[in-house]
Chain A
């Protein structure tokens, strides 16, 4: 009997890589892609690694492919920006072993800083883009991507979106193929991209584009479902599922291969239906190409261009009655934004930065929550690594005095990802800046992945632990201090010293992530008699502390005993349980 499992899109991609005989896999964690490599790493025969960044991950996979192995690189949409440099030239060299790059896009920005549409990378790099619409397709397309890669001598992008990565559906489990490493022969004309060789390869890329366009007409990746001819949808990915939910009887051209498109396939479909609507999330990538063929379609004139689509949004766009909403509270509902966890080390440092009134050049990670109330600390958050460089640019624009009121904050994993080169720039170009490396010794936001500073690899095995202190020292930073963010007085004192110093300083703010290494100290308690209800403790933004009836209260089930609140109470009204109590 066939075996089916309920898998997320990410688990299914990992399963597909395993069944297709992938030998090398690399990734940098990023929502919604993270669980792909986590699951790949469970297959012992696959060489898996967390790379320090996406460019490194892709380059490792490129080397593996050229050397003859099948390879998979996984990253979130913005990670592909980091990997774009090797990707666009890898298009020219082509592959030896099959290579698939998973680009996990995040429409709606559930956990991202933009909602760019990476299907454009297919057009830009001239490499095929496959997009699955559920977990079964996520597995099948991963395997087909590797076959296509070898057949057409090209890397292939498997583009997913959050609702495919993180939705679970049934997947038929297959037997793994043998892991084959193809012969490798040195071939500079193919793999050494000097201008003369690259010119020759560009010609190959154009021939490949034509061959792929013909393939697009015959492949089962694209599917015509003719039903009611009054409306024909051209769609892909999760949008297909929403439309089938709403209008299962309509006609569909369901695309699995999104680039290149085949004009004849589209024209033939369009001729069979009365009206064609292109339904795609975010950018009109398909629509623009189809209109350029001279085929009349609707698209972004009725379908939103921002955010993700939903059954509800599509019902509205297609003028179909929505489900009746019977219940809505008459009360104002407070929002529940994400917050720093109880016992989080970032709390102490953001409290200090806020108190000192500093400008803060931010970065990507849990500490982006330093922008939320009650801290509101961050001046900027752009992309991975931009904190140090951004602060340096501000310093150059506004002078040394500004630099004395400004810090960069960057996490340990983000520092390894792309902070190092920024620090090199700051030292080399004689900046003054103060850089805070918030070292919680794990890649926290994405769910605790190991990184070059944790001493473990992706399989949890011991690995060399790269010392941030030694690295920073070797770059030429003379002023390096380490502080515990739970010691507020020391944090402030060190920050004052380093901001005043007329050279680059690095302050390593070190405290393990509270969700990863749980504190087990007794909860603190408020002495109601001593509490004056001044709300100084609320400035910590701690989910354990509230003020009711003019007195602070600490929820003993939430408090982990980090000890910050007694340090900010002006009346010593907060004590460890046991002090003045039995």
Chain B
């Protein structure tokens, strides 16, 4: 990921998992570093437990708010099936960061479909760079499983150019006051992964 080309990041998950907050923090970090930033999200019906994806792009000049399929530098997936669903967006040498969590969609619950098997292994076997982490469990150790989004940002932060302090500032600026300390801890846990 160079400074000359836009950096394209896709954040995929299930409605209610906190993808929007993660993109907000990431956008804030890129903005504070002086980049042009665009991000795109979808509200409304799909938020009710459906598949959701947020796009974040930054660079010297950004036009489209959406990452094109095959052009994502990083996919940060909050759930394994959603990682697999959006994998075609990943560049050949791109990085998949995946939360090792499985949330069964209704067709699987109803017995009409199978949850895919060995997702992390399959992504790796295809040649994708994969960084898998039990982010929800790690977040729970810090006080709240919902901070998995910030654990994943901690992992992501090791692969982007921004100094740690920018991330911490963005977290302080973005999350509710009473949750700042817990989220800062969650970020550190992710960063050490």
- A170 contacts which chain B residues (CB < 8 A)? 31, 36-37
- B37 contacts which chain A residues (CB < 8 A)? 6, 168-170
Contact across chains for B109 and A545 when beta carbons are under 8 A apart: yes
The answer for the CA separation of A134 and B46 in the assembled complex, in Å, is: 23
Contact across chains for A111 and B44 when beta carbons are under 8 A apart: yes
Contact across chains for B48 and A110 when beta carbons are under 8 A apart: no
* A-B contact list, 15 entries, CB within 8 Å: A110-B44, A111-B45, A163-B40, A166-B42, A167-B40, A238-B65, A242-B64, A244-B63, A311-B66, A325-B69, A327-B123, A339-B50, A341-B48, A373-B110, A546-B104
The answer for the CA separation of A547 and B39 in the assembled complex, in Å, is: 39
Q: A322-B68, A337-B106 are in contact. List 19 more A-B contacts (CB 8 A).
A: A32-B44, A35-B43, A110-B46, A111-B46, A163-B65, A167-B40, A168-B38, A170-B36, A244-B64, A325-B88, A333-B84, A336-B50, A336-B105, A338-B15, A338-B46, A541-B106, A546-B104, A546-B109, A547-B111
A266 contacts chain B at the CB level, 8 A cutoff = no
- A447 contacts which chain B residues (CB < 8 A)? 43, 47
Contact across chains for B46 and A331 when beta carbons are under 8 A apart: no
A397 contacts chain B at the CB level, 8 A cutoff = no
A323 in complex: contacting residue of B70, B127, B128, CB < 8 Å: B70
Output the nearest chain B residue to A542 by Cβ-Cβ distance: B109
- B106 contacts which chain A residues (CB < 8 A)? 336-337, 339, 372-373, 541, 543
Contact across chains for B45 and A110 when beta carbons are under 8 A apart: yes
The answer for the CA separation of A373 and B110 in the assembled complex, in Å, is: 9
- B109 contacts which chain A residues (CB < 8 A)? 538, 541, 543, 545-546
Contact across chains for A168 and B81 when beta carbons are under 8 A apart: no
- B42 contacts which chain A residues (CB < 8 A)? 110-111, 162, 166
Contact across chains for B68 and A312 when beta carbons are under 8 A apart: yes
Chain B residues 81-108 with CB under 8 Å of chain A are 81-82, 84-85, 87-88, 90-92, 104-108
The answer for the CA separation of A111 and B46 in the assembled complex, in Å, is: 7
Interface residues on B, range: 35 or more
Contact across chains for B44 and A324 when beta carbons are under 8 A apart: no
Closest 6 CB pairs of A and B: A111-B44, A323-B70, A31-B44, A167-B65, A338-B50, A334-B113
- A380 contacts which chain B residues (CB < 8 A)? none
Question: Smallest distance from the beta carbon of B61 to chain A beta carbons, Å?
Answer: 9
Contact across chains for B105 and A334 when beta carbons are under 8 A apart: yes
A154 contacts chain B at the CB level, 8 A cutoff = no
Contact across chains for B70 and A324 when beta carbons are under 8 A apart: yes
A374 contacts chain B at the CB level, 8 A cutoff = yes
The answer for the CA separation of A4 and B31 in the assembled complex, in Å, is: 9
The answer for the CA separation of A546 and B44 in the assembled complex, in Å, is: 26
Question: Smallest distance from the beta carbon of A389 to chain B beta carbons, Å?
Answer: 23
- A332 contacts which chain B residues (CB < 8 A)? 113-114, 116
Q: Give 1 or 0 for each of B121-142: 1 = CB within 8 Å of chain A CB.
A: 0110011100000000000000
- A31 contacts which chain B residues (CB < 8 A)? 43-45
The answer for the CA separation of A366 and B116 in the assembled complex, in Å, is: 29
Contact across chains for A538 and B45 when beta carbons are under 8 A apart: no
Q: Give 1 or 0 for each of A304-341: 1 = CB within 8 Å of chain B CB.
A: 00000011100100000011111111111111111111
The answer for the CA separation of A543 and B103 in the assembled complex, in Å, is: 9
How many interface contacts (CB-CB < 8 Å) are there between A and B? Answer: 195
User: Quick one: given A166-B43, A334-B105, are A326 and B64 in contact (CB under 8 Å)?
Assistant: no
- A251 contacts which chain B residues (CB < 8 A)? none
Chain A residues 99-135 with CB under 8 Å of chain B are 110-111, 134
Contact across chains for B50 and A326 when beta carbons are under 8 A apart: no
B residues lining the A interface (CB < 8 Å): 14-15, 27-28, 31, 36-51, 62-66, 68-71, 81-82, 84-85, 87-88, 90-92, 104-117, 119, 122-123, 126-128, 145
A446 contacts chain B at the CB level, 8 A cutoff = yes
Output the nearest chain B residue to A35 by Cβ-Cβ distance: B43
Contact across chains for B81 and A336 when beta carbons are under 8 A apart: yes
Contact across chains for A446 and B63 when beta carbons are under 8 A apart: no
Q: Give 1 or 0 for each of A139-176: 1 = CB within 8 Å of chain B CB.
A: 00000000000000000000000110011111000000
- B105 contacts which chain A residues (CB < 8 A)? 334-337
A331 in complex: contacting residue of B38, B41, B84, CB < 8 Å: B84
Output the nearest chain B residue to A545 by Cβ-Cβ distance: B109
- A325 contacts which chain B residues (CB < 8 A)? 69-70, 88
Contact across chains for A334 and B128 when beta carbons are under 8 A apart: no
A328 in complex: contacting residue of B31, B65, B81, B88, CB < 8 Å: B88
A410 contacts chain B at the CB level, 8 A cutoff = no
User: Quick one: given A167-B38, A168-B39, are A326 and B90 in contact (CB under 8 Å)?
Assistant: yes
- B48 contacts which chain A residues (CB < 8 A)? 338-341, 366, 369, 445
Contact across chains for B127 and A326 when beta carbons are under 8 A apart: yes
The answer for the CA separation of A311 and B69 in the assembled complex, in Å, is: 9
A34 contacts chain B at the CB level, 8 A cutoff = yes
The answer for the CA separation of A163 and B38 in the assembled complex, in Å, is: 11
Contact across chains for B39 and A167 when beta carbons are under 8 A apart: yes
- A339 contacts which chain B residues (CB < 8 A)? 48-50, 106
A196 contacts chain B at the CB level, 8 A cutoff = no
Q: Give 1 or 0 for each of A557-569: 1 = CB within 8 Å of chain B CB.
A: 1000000000000
- B43 contacts which chain A residues (CB < 8 A)? 31-32, 34-35, 111, 166, 446-447
Question: Smallest distance from the beta carbon of B58 to chain A beta carbons, Å?
Answer: 10
Name the residue in B43, B49, B51, B126 with the highest tally of chain A Cβ atoms < 10 Å from its Cβ.
Answer: B43
- B71 contacts which chain A residues (CB < 8 A)? 323
A245 contacts chain B at the CB level, 8 A cutoff = yes
Contact across chains for A310 and B66 when beta carbons are under 8 A apart: yes
Chain A residues 222-249 with CB under 8 Å of chain B are 238, 241-242, 244-245, 248
Question: Smallest distance from the beta carbon of A440 to chain B beta carbons, Å?
Answer: 13
Question: Smallest distance from the beta carbon of A111 to chain B beta carbons, Å?
Answer: 3
Question: Smallest distance from the beta carbon of B146 to chain A beta carbons, Å?
Answer: 11
The answer for the CA separation of A166 and B51 in the assembled complex, in Å, is: 17
